[in-house]
């Protein structure tokens, strides 16, 4: 870590950073310039209520409660949206939400034995880092340079209790897996197929892949022959851009040096851009490119925009919160939703996004109270690959069946405190309004109010009717979507 501190201090970009500023307005300007004629199709800005719900889900994974909604709408301060972003970034739920996201990114495709990893320890450590405002280069270095050691005296103790060890453990400490996962997660590029053959559409050669793998190897790394894996040739460690470590460097120092090449070689623009692209993709529903499988650079849409954000992320010492502030204060983020499949109007609106399984579980528990078994079922049924773009994700019949029919969920909802409160309200109008505020975190529209009121009027049993209304909102697409 001392070595890293030294490299970091001497970064040439630090000196120019003080003079450079890049604001949300600059971002909008850069984006609109890129959009060209598509700016005619820009969606309207969202209202306060929608902004509050969206920002809360994005930064904390939680819905705002009715009191918060009322206070936010009432607040007449012109900078209130910006203040909300700052406030949410300071809440402990912020670190937790993004720790869960990154833990899922790291573990989703991991084939490691479950007894040798501890995703929860990683999540806890990441949550702490994000909440403390730890820079992304520091987090990355900690993950990549970890050297977990097995304690043979204790069964299944592979050092997984220590959070940062779990990236290496998720890769089963295999050089090839570490190489491809480092490229995938921290550079956003896919070089896995170069393990066996030269990349079909890209510049990565088979040797390059194995040279990177050699970097992660404690001793001498041998590359298996393409046709006969028994024939092996020794490969010297070399980073993707050609950097070689000092010959006498020990294995653990070599890993720190990978991290250094990754983060501080100004020619490695992939590192900063991969983080920016992931966060942008989570916030706006589409990335500038698929977050972990970039081939040639020509696949990047509106490249000048993402490159500028990435360059400034570096100038800001890789501060994750800076990226959130920049994007969320922009007009681009604060537009209404629309689904478009044409690349031309990308980012003229925000794409409605499926909420992550843990967020849906939180929303459900918000209604019925803590419910471990339901939570587990939701996490399973709504499981999604965090590295796939929104338009590649799909719902399932199982999700529908779970939300419609799960007996425990229905019973808990029917006996919930929320339902008791709704029933105790003096008027049906209040009941409907409170229902929408509590379940969807917004007021009912006039037509929704009318529909729900007439449903209550036409029902024989008020108690059952309220169950029905709760059921309908729980089963609505909006309940599991960020709008």
Q: Which is nearer to other proteins, 256 or 355 (CB)?
A: 355
From candidates 147, 233, 373, 398, binder to other proteins by CB under 8 A: 398
- Parallel, antiparallel or unpaired: strands 353-354 and 481-482: antiparallel
Please choose, out of 117-125, 134-142, 326-334, 470-478, the segment that lies near other proteins by the rule CB under 8 A. 470-478
Distance CA 122, CA 162 (A): 7
From 262, 302, 259, select the one nearest 281 (Cα to Cα): 302
What is the closest distance, in whole angstroms, from the C-beta atom of residue 196 to other proteins in the complex? 6
By CB under 8 A, how many residues form the interface with other proteins? 53
* 465 CB neighbour count, 10 Å cutoff: 18
Options 42, 93, 379, 402; binder of other proteins; rule CB under 8 A: 402
Considering only residues 173 to 192 of the shown chain, the ones binding other proteins according to CB under 8 A are: 192
Whether residue 204 contacts residue 198, with contact meaning beta carbons closer than 8 Å, is answered with yes
Q: Minimum CB separation from other proteins for residue 81, in Å?
A: 20
Stretch that binds other proteins, among 57-65, 181-189, 302-310, 390-398 (CB under 8 A): 390-398
For other proteins, the binding residues in 308-347 under the rule CB under 8 A are 336-339, 341
Of 124 and 410, which has the nearer Cβ to other proteins?
410
Q: Which stretch binds other proteins (CB under 8 A): 26-34, 53-61, 312-320, 391-399?
A: 391-399
3-state DSSP helix/strand/coil % of the chain, to nearest 5: 60, 5, 35
Torsion 157-158-164-169 (CA) sign: negative
The DSSP secondary-structure symbol of 230 reads: T
The answer to whether the beta carbons of residues 389 and 344 sit under 8 Å apart is no
Within residues 227-246, the interface with other proteins by CB under 8 A covers 228-230
Question: How many whole angstroms separate alpha carbon 271 and alpha carbon 137?
Answer: 9
Residue partners of 333: CB distance under 8 A and separation at least 6: 283, 284, 327, 350
Applying CB under 8 A, the span of 155-163, 204-212, 359-367, 400-408 interacting with other proteins comes to: 400-408
Query: Maximum CA pair distance of the chain?
Result: 82
CA distance 272 to 308: 10
Q: Where are the alpha helices (DSSP H) in 133-250?
A: 136-144, 166-170, 175-181, 187, 206-216
**Closer CB to other proteins, 83 or 392, in the complex:** 392
Q: Which residue from 20, 71, 196, 344 is in contact with other proteins, where contact means CB under 8 A?
A: 196
483 counts as binding other proteins under rule CB under 8 A:
yes
Task: Rule CB under 8 A: say whether 195 interacts with other proteins.
Answer: yes
Dihedral (C-alpha) 64, 70, 71, 77: value to the nearest 10 degrees? 110
- Whole-angstrom CA distances from 87 to 90, 276, 325, 332, 339 are 5, 21, 11, 21, 30
Are the C-beta atoms of residues 68 and 52 closer than 8 Å to each other? Answer: yes
Q: Counting contacts by CB under 8 A, is residue 468 touching other proteins?
A: yes
Contacting range for other proteins; rule: CB under 8 A; set: 92-100, 135-143, 195-203, 253-261 = 195-203
**Residue 247 interacts with other proteins (CB under 8 A): yes or no:** no
Return the residue of 82, 124, 455, 462 that touches other proteins, per CB under 8 A. Answer: 455
Q: Which is nearer to other proteins, 197 or 250 (CB)?
A: 197
266 binding other proteins? (CB under 8 A): no
Among 25, 83, 404, 423, binds other proteins (CB under 8 A): 404
**Between 77 and 230, CB nearer to other proteins:** 230
89, 325 Cβ separation under 8 angstroms: yes
**Is residue 272 involved in binding other proteins (CB under 8 A)?**
no
Of the residues 43, 122, 212, 367, which one makes contact with other proteins according to CB under 8 A: 43
Angle made by CA atoms 422, 427, 430, in degrees to the nearest 5: 60
Q: Which of 193, 251, 379, 384 binds other proteins (CB under 8 A)?
A: 193
Pick one of 142, 283, 294, 473: the residue that binds other proteins (CB under 8 A): 473
Which two three-digit tokens encode residue 39?
A: 């700016």
Among 200, 267, 372, 427, interactor with other proteins by CB under 8 A: 200
Site for other proteins (CB under 8 A): which residue of 82, 410, 416, 434? 410
- The enclosing H or E element of 435 equals helix 428-439
Q: Which of 9, 40, 132, 405 binds other proteins (CB under 8 A)?
A: 405
Task: Give the footprint of other proteins on this chain (CB under 8 A).
Answer: 43, 192-193, 195-196, 200, 228-230, 290, 336-339, 341, 349, 352, 354, 377, 392, 394-402, 404-407, 410, 445, 447-448, 451-452, 455, 459, 464, 468-469, 471-473, 475-478, 481, 483
């Amino acid at each position: 870590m001392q070595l890293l501190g030294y490299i970091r201090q001497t970064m040439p970009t630090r000196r120019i950073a003080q003079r450079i500023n890049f604001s949300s307005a600059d971002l909008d300007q850069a984006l609109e310039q890129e959009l060209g004629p598509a700016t005619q199709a820009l969606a309207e800005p969202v209202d306060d209520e929608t902004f509050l719900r969206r920002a809360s889900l994005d930064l904390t994974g939680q819905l705002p409660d009715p009191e918060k909604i009322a206070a936010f709408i009432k607040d007449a301060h012109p900078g209130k949206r910006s203040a909300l972003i700052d406030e949410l970034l300071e809440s402990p739920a912020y670190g937790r939400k993004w720790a869960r996201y990154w833990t899922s990114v790291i573990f989703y495709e991991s084939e490691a034995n479950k007894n040798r990893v501890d995703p929860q320890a990683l999540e806890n450590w990441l949550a702490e880092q994000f909440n403390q405002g730890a820079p992304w280069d520091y987090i990355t270095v900690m993950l990549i340079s970890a050297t977990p050691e097995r304690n043979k005296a204790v069964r299944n103790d592979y050092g997984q209790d220590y959070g940062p060890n779990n990236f290496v453990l998720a890769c089963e400490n295999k050089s090839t897996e570490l190489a491809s996962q480092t490229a995938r997660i921290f550079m956003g590029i896919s070089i896995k197929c170069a393990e066996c053959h030269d990349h079909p559409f890209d510049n990565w050669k088979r040797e390059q892949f194995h040279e990177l793998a050699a970097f992660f190897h404690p001793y001498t790394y041998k590359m298996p022959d393409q046709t006969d894996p028994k024939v092996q040739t020794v490969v010297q460690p070399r980073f993707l851009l050609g950097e070689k470590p000092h010959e006498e460097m020990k294995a653990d120092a070599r890993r720190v040096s990978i991290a250094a090449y990754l983060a501080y070689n100004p020619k490695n623009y992939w590192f900063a851009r991969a983080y920016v692209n992931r966060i942008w993709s989570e916030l706006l529903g589409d990335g500038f490119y698929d977050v972990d499988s970039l081939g040639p650079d020509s696949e990047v849409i509106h490249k000048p925009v993402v490159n500028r954000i990435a360059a400034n992320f570096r100038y800001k010492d890789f501060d994750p919160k800076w990226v959130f502030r920049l994007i969320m204060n922009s007009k681009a983020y604060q537009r209404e939703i629309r689904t478009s499949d044409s690349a031309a109007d990308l980012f003229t609106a925000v794409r409605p996004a499926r909420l992550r399984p843990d967020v849906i579980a939180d929303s459900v528990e918000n209604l019925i109270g803590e419910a471990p078994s339901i939570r587990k079922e939701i996490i399973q049924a709504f499981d999604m690959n965090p590295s796939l773009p929104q338009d590649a994700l799909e719902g399932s019949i199982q999700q529908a069946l779970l939300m419609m029919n799960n007996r425990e969920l229905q019973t808990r909802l029917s006996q919930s405190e929320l339902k008791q409160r709704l029933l105790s309200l003096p008027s049906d109008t209040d009941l409907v309004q409170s229902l929408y505020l509590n379940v969807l975190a917004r007021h009912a529209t006039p037509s929704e109010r009318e529909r729900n009121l007439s449903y209550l009027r036409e029902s024989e049993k008020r108690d059952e009717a309220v169950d029905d209304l709760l059921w309908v909102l729980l089963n609505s697409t909006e309940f599991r979507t960020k709008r």
